[in-house]
Amino acid sequence: MFEAMFSENELTRRSRSRLWTNRLWILSGVLGAATLVSTVLVVHDTERQRTGAGLSAKAAANQTAATAAGRLEILALETFAPAAPWEMRSSVTTPTPEKTKVVVLRLENAVKKGKADKGTAGDRLFGNGIKAQIVNALEQSGRFTVVTNTGPKEVLERDNVTDSGEIKRPILDRLGSLGDAKFLLAGALTTYQLSKKSKNAGVEADLLFREQQVRAVDVDGIDAIAKRVFEGLKAGSQDRVALELWLFDAKTGRRLASTKIQGTPSDTSEVMTTAMQQAVHGSTLKAVAWITNTETAFRAGTLAAPPATLEAKKTPGPEQGEEKVRRTSVRKQPQSTPQSRSTPKAQSKTVAAEDSSPTTSAVEAGAEDFSHGSVSVPEPKVEKALPQEEWGER
């Protein structure tokens, strides 16, 4: 009995399994047929292909039109836009020129009449102080770079230059290497005159003697020295600075130009603590302007040669010959009467006044006890040039 029931249940399970298997096969066939139909429809449906191709072509056309419109707009701006100023166009197209390198030496101290620069602490205070102001003005101009020589020589005196305007060879050796500098600047501070108001402002208000500046001079007790020198300066009626500047070709040591500069408070509109500060600043602005103009003319080949000095022994010209005749006639005049005794002296004084006339400008430049102290005025001679003429204004 149990065996019959077991057999009947086994048959029932088998029949159900076959039924599900048949259904799965039918479902698989239906899905396969649907996939096949969809594939055939996609492959043979040309409308979708045409739609996709149309969208791609439209996108390419839009991109091409946008590029053409941009180029047309640029062309229209270049053609019809107002012309830019010439300065703006040159600044855009022309590269910034390289800054000119300049060696600046300490200026010779010649503010005291009859006292030469001996390189003392006081001399260095004057020379280094005005040099620092010139260096600052050159660098602030944006056109120059200041470099330092490698040798022990810090200042260039007048007798370090030949009559033809060239730095003597031993002096060049002591200056050392100037690197790739284009110019060498030297000169002298010939006047440093404080007014009473600027003097009363104190040493800390002075650009040359304040503590910040004097520390550049490596001397023990330089602060006390600076105060003593400043207090010893004689106050005048107005603030005034006078410079002599000499510009040399750094490669050859040949003098290119020289000038004299006067600085007063009216030379700058910048508001400063004292009028003396304005005078110093004004003199440095003039110095930078002169150096800039000289450099421009030198690069353009239009710089005039500096005036040549007369040689010590030279054949006298017509004017000198006439001067000698006058002197000879004065010496040979008879002295038979009292009137003739006084006449030669009067004429000799006249001749001497005429001979010494070239030195008048140098003496006037050092008015009020501040002059070209390091220049000794020789005896008047026609055959020999005076030192002031060599470094005078052109």
Cα separation of 137 and 360, whole Å?
A: 32
Residue 135 has pLDDT above 50, yes or no: yes
* 286 vs 350, residue with greater confidence: 286
Return the DSSP state at 346: H
Cα separation of 156 and 119, whole Å?
A: 11
| Arithmetic mean of pLDDT, 227-244 | 94
Pairing type for strands 255-263 and 240-249 reads: antiparallel
- 100-300: CATH topology is Rossmann fold (3.40.50)
What's the pLDDT tens digit per position in 11-32? 666 666 677 777 778 888 888 8
User: Would you state the pLDDT for residue 311?
Assistant: 38
Mean pLDDT of the chain: 76
In 3D space, the residue among 253, 256, 254, 133 whose CA is nearest the CA of residue 189 turns out to be 133
Tokens of 50: 């045409």
In 3D space, the residue among 157, 273, 297, 149 whose CA is nearest the CA of residue 205 turns out to be 273
Q: What are phi and psi of 202, to 5 degrees?
A: 100, 170
Residue 194 has pLDDT above 70, yes or no: yes
What's the pLDDT tens digit per position in 268-285? 999 999 999 999 999 999
Residue 142 has pLDDT above 80, yes or no: yes
In 3D space, the residue among 270, 219, 250 whose CA is nearest the CA of residue 104 turns out to be 250
Cα separation of 217 and 360, whole Å?
A: 35
Quote the pTM value.
0.57
Residue 308 has pLDDT above 60, yes or no: no
Cα separation of 156 and 164, whole Å?
A: 16
DSSP string of 180-242?
T-SEEEEEEEEEEE-BHHHHHT-GGG-TTTSHHHHTTS--TTHHHHHHHHHHTSPPBSS-EEE
What's the pLDDT tens digit per position in 164-179? 999 999 999 999 999 9
- Percent residues over pLDDT 70 in the chain: 66
